[in-house]
Amino acid sequence: MVVGGSILSTGLQGIQKGLQQASKAADQVAKASMVDVGEADLTGAAVDLMQAKLQVQASVMVAKRAEEMLGTLIDTQA
C-alpha cells in the first residue's frame, strides 16, 4: 500500500507544482497590463499557462490511477 500512497503523493505534488506555475504566469499577465505592451512577455506567460494546465491534467490522471490501484489492493485484501 505504500506504493499507492507514494504514487498519490507524486500526483498531488504535481498538481501543486502546476497550480504554482499557473499562478506565477497569471501574475506575469496581470503585471503586463501595467507596463508598455512591447516590454511584456505575454507569449512566455501564455506558454507557461499551457504548461501548467498540462502539468495539472497529467498529475490528476496519476492521482486517479493511484486511487484506483489502492482500491484494487483493498478489494484484494478484503
> Residues, the chain, total?
78
**Identity (one letter) of the amino acid at 19?**
L
Q: What angle do CA 68, 52, 57 make, to 5 degrees?
A: 20
Neighbours of 27 (CB within 10 A): 11
Mean pLDDT of 31-46: 77
pLDDT of residue 67: 87
Closest C-alpha to 60, from 32, 26, 19, 29: 19
pLDDT of residue 9: 92
pTM: 0.77
Q: What's the CA gap between 2 and 10, in Å, rounded?
A: 12
